[in-house]
Structure 1
């Protein structure tokens, strides 16, 4: 490896022949082609599908069944992202049975946001470099002023996925690579996404006994659902690293957005999460709406989850910022 390649994104490991570098991130034309393909299929296509769903209303008026399919598949895949991909697989904030692990991985894959191992590696990289050089989707690295902030928001919300350095899964997700059920789910990622599109279409067709019902089910329960969930999740990366309240001290610019707590299934308590990434509860207090944590508590009550430990009040108090700092809604 040449001296030019020994960037800060490289760490050294010991081997029989002495110290040798292991890259934290990978970049190649092949990986960038895969990223462009994924961007077109699962980021651009849902936008086209949402426009198609609106146009299809001229042929098939939206029915209650379409709205139910949209809500149910949004809820299932959204909970799988926050509870499975994020709290369980990335941060290991609790333990779950093998069956729950596999179900969460499959449903999370249906969200079209990447295979479970890649998603985890990217998010662990984000926490390691959050709002600093190396963060794949920070809104705060594009300069100051209105133009810089607007460029940062566009990058962090959407554009970064077209082409970016790929976190080395051997470095960032070695625990998941040892989990054979998760590896098998990850290898079938594209099939799970297709299944997540076909299921609402099949159900819609059976409910209405018509091809228009099947198409409408696929559009609303499939593509529109992916579109809505994606932008909800991306808004956490973009807007909540720039706007909102900041009750706890953390090394990056994460913010809470309480008004979005329900629609984000608890993810909007983003500063809480960055301050205590090992907590299965993002709300931290019982009165803060956190549907993701409600599901974890339900799984624990049924014996399907364990080690559900929330940071103590003393630990939270030690990181709490003064009220004047906590309530600011502008970038630090």
Structure 2
């Protein structure tokens, strides 16, 4: 029971900070917050993602390119240009690493308003940090796993962020339904989306990328937006007026 709770907590915590901090804040600037809360989100994202921590700058910059060039040859993670989900993940990682390591020319205008905390990033991205989190996951399983077969779930924890990204960016361009006709194949995965924190309402997001609420139809639900509205009410963040529903 403890292991199942841990899986759920890790899944949704990692997903929440990926969609709210990395995606909606870093990539799309849907809301603003002060320096204290921004640094708190940096740290919370590191804790939530652990071994699969994503650099906010590299994630946001790559995602902006994805929106600019959705599914053409310049798209850094288009399913249209990969034979299978594994080659797709490797291609995405290669592009992400080039941005993070500055092996790619960075366009100044495209990188504006992406949050940076370079001193912390050196710690959070280090192999020592990733090995430490791997050790934490293994220790939890040693203490609480009912049997050895549960250890086969450890890779889910190790690669949590890439798994989220692969599900959303591969399947949300392959299967599902569309609310908006666009020049790309983005789709919505509702009701599977319930397990993906709003992210897989992908067709809606591509059609209106400035909107903080990814839900558009009466039956669609974006849980991350609900939490964002609560944080907005508590003045932790301020959602921009044009991003509000």
Report TM bin, short chain.
0.7 to 0.9
Query: Number of paired residues?
Result: 230
> Corresponding residue for 1:213?
143
Whole-Å separation in 1 of the counterparts to 2:226 and 2:130: 26
Deviation for aligned residue 1:153: 4.4
Matched, 1:231 2:170: no
- 1:53 aligns to what? none
Whether 1:304 aligns to 2:211 is no
Q: Which residue of 2 aligns with 1:20?
A: none
Distance of 2:25 and 2:42 partners within structure 1: 10
Corresponding residue number in structure 1 for 2:113:
175
Residues 159-174 of structure 1: matches in 2 within 5 Å?
A: 159-161=90-92, 163-164=94-95, 166=99, 167-169=104-106, 171=108, 172-174=110-112
1:77/1:154 CA distance change after superposition, 3 Å: closer
- Kept in 2, the 8 Å contact 1:86–1:120? The answer is yes
Deviations 1:9-38 (A, max 9, x none): xxxxxxxxxxxxxxxxxxxxxxxxxxxxxx
Q: 1:123 and 2:123 equivalent?
A: no
Shift of 1:154: 4.4
Give the CA deviation at 1:123: 1.1
Which has the larger share of strand?
1
Shift of 1:129: 1.1
Structure 2 residue ranges without an equivalent (≥5): none
- Distance (whole Å) between structure 1 residues aligned to residue 223 and residue 7 of structure 2: 18
Q: Report the counterpart of residue 145 of structure 1 in structure 2.
A: none
Alignment of 1:255-270 (within 5 A): 255-270=187-202
Equivalent residue, structure 1, for 2:185: 253
Check the 8 A contact 1:276/1:311 in 2, yes or no: no
2:33 is matched with which residue?
96
- 1:284, 1:300 → 2: CA distance? 20
Cα offsets for 1:305-331 (capped at 9, x unmatched): 112546688xxxxxxxxxxxxxxxxxx
Alpha-carbon displacement from aligned partner over 1:138-184 (angstroms, at most 9, x marks no partner) = 11136xxxxxxxx154433x2314644645445332433xx55x333
Structure 1 position 87 matched with structure 2 position 24: yes
1:292 and 2:224 aligned: yes
Aligned residue number for residue 204 of structure 2:
272
Q: How does 1:66-81 map to 2 (within 5 A)?
A: 66-81=3-18
> Retained in 2: the 8 A contact 1:256–1:271?
yes
* Consecutive unaligned residues in structure 1, runs of 5 or more: 1-63, 143-150, 206-211, 314-332
Q: Normalization by structure 1: what TM-score?
A: 0.60
C-alpha distance in structure 2 between counterparts of 1:201 and 1:99, whole Å = 32
* Aligned position for 2:72: 132
Q: Kindly indicate whether structure 1 or structure 2 has the higher relative contact order, using CA contacts under 8 Å at least 6 residues apart.
A: 2
